[in-house]
Amino acid sequence: MNDIRTLNIEQLSEWVVARFEKSFRAKQIYEWVWKKNVASFDKMINLPLSLREALKNEFSLHKLTLADKQQSADKSIKYGFVLADNHLIETVLIPSNNRTTVCVSSQVGCGLGCHFCATAKLGFKRNLSDYEMYEQIFIANEESKQHFGHPISNIVWMGMGEPLLNYENVIKAINHITSPSGLGMSKDRITLSTSGIAEGIRRLADDNIRIHLAISLHIADNELRTTLMPINTTNPLPQLSEALKYYYQKTKLRISIEYLLLNNINDSIKDAQLLANFCKNFPVKINLIEYNSHAYAAYKKSNKEKVQSFIDFLERKNLVVNLRLSKGKDIAAACGQLANEKQINDKI
């Protein structure tokens, strides 16, 4: 059976009317499954029993099952969810002062093979549906209220997977998040991080999605980037740069550049110069990220002196630079660490 959430409001209205029910019932059902995120049709108590039975007979309503929950010393919380087909994904809730951010997964695993990322060891299993992504956010929102006393303030597509390779479902999820019939959040609170899918970046611009765009660049040397990030073979830096120029021309939105500092790999002053050159064609904010070690890659994070020299060089070029301190490292919830260890061990 198809999940009820695969129907849009128009299709749901057609289904309701075909059963000789009044059309307003469709809006009620839609609110139950999205705004209230109910776990079963029986919970839809303002619907006639006959309509609830019809829904149960014709549709499914698969919910995420919480398999694991860990809280870091810094209060970040990592959730492991089991999907209807028994695949596993991870979602992270990150508190900071009076804000909380949810880091959302867009795919089961990832097929891009970035050498420094634990998720790459899973390989690609499948794309997540819009409702599987939405539900991660809905649950995180309720958890934020419970643990931190306020709803989530920001959403980042920086979890497992490459969101621009699941474009249609990600955009559908964003539409639900920002809709009054969903969470009613502003697009200003949403950031999508991509490894650099040029076609997807252009599509975001053409579709006027107007969320924040972050590029997981990490290396501004084209040859070295291809070595560490195979996606650069089909989306080389010159092509990515042109896509980002196009994005800025269409949207006038500043782009965030994510740059993971790896000791003796991409942290020299020469590397900083290459990064500055890459960033000169559009307004950027550079987020420098410390490397988070894991069992599946042997890289080391840059030392404090190198990091400071890197920052000083970029700031002399009048670039906006932030050093982003990772949270959740002790529970493998930080950047580059998301990967269900059981799935990886089973694969190995």
Q: In the predicted model, is pLDDT for residue 325 greater than 80?
A: no
**Judgement on whether residues 25 and 118 belong to the same structural domain of the protein:** no
The answer to whether 150 and 100 are in contact (CB under 8 A) is yes
Q: The dihedral of CA 275, 121, 234, 282: what is its sign?
A: negative
Percent of the chain's residues with pLDDT above 90:
84
Domain's final residue, options 58, 80, 101: 58
pLDDT in tens, 76-120: 999 999 999 999 999 999 999 889 999 999 999 999 999 888 888
Statement to judge: residues 27 and 145 lie in one domain:
no
**Which pLDDT band, with edges at 50, 70 and 90, does 326 fall under?**
low
Number of H helices and E strands in the chain, helices first, is: 11, 12
**What sign results for the dihedral spanned by CA atoms 26, 27, 31, 34?**
positive
Summarize the confidence of residues 8-17 as an average pLDDT: 96
Relative to beta strand 99-103, strand 154-157 is parallel
Contact 227, 197 (CB under 8 A): no
Q: Which residue has the higher pLDDT, 325 or 263?
A: 263
Whether pLDDT at 175 is above 50: yes
Q: Indicate whether 344 pLDDT > 50.
A: no
Answer yes or no: are the C-beta atoms of 145 and 103 closer than 8 Å: no
Say which CATH number the domain at 130 has.
3.20.20.70
Kindly state whether residues 46 and 77 are assigned to the same domain.
no
- Residue 347's pLDDT band, with cuts at 50, 70 and 90, is very low
| Average pLDDT for the chain | 92
pTM of the predicted protein model? 0.92
Q: What is the pLDDT of residue 315?
A: 97
Among 58, 75, 99, the domain boundary falls at: 58
More confident residue, 97 or 128: 128
At residue 348, does pLDDT exceed 90?
Answer: no
In degrees and rounded to multiples of 5, residue 205 shows phi and psi of: -65, -45
Is 168 catalytic? The answer is no
Between CA 283 and CA 73 the distance in angstroms is: 36
Q: Does 130 lie in the same domain as 47?
A: no
Is the per-residue pLDDT at 337 higher than 60? Answer: no
The answer on 24 and 110 residing in a single domain is: no
221 lies in the same domain as 72: yes
Whether residues 53 and 187 share a domain: the answer is no
Q: Average pLDDT in the 259-286 region? A: 97
Write down the catalytic residue from 90, 132, 162, 258: 90
Same domain, yes or no: 284 and 331: yes
Q: Look up 335 and say whether it is catalytic.
A: yes
17 and 121 belong to one structural domain? no
Q: Is the pLDDT of residue 161 over 50?
A: yes
- The answer to whether residues 160 and 52 belong to one domain is no
- Structural domains of the chain, count: 2
pLDDT over 60 (residue 1): yes
Which domain, by its residues, includes 89?
65-347
Residues 40 and 184 in one domain: no
**Arithmetic mean of pLDDT, 225-237:** 97
Question: Of 143, 168, 335, 341, which is the active-site residue?
Answer: 335
Angle subtended at Cα 133 by Cα 203 and Cα 103, rounded to the nearest 5 degrees: 90
What average pLDDT does this structure show over 203-214? 97
SS3 content of the chain, % helix, strand, coil (to 5): 45, 20, 35
Which CATH number characterizes residue 46's domain?
A: 1.10.150.530
Structure-token pair, residue 154: 């920001």
pLDDT of residue 124: 96
Same domain, residue pair 237 and 338: yes
Burial 186-218 (b: 16+ CB within 10 A, else e): eeebbbbbbbbbbebbbbbbeeebebbbbbbbb
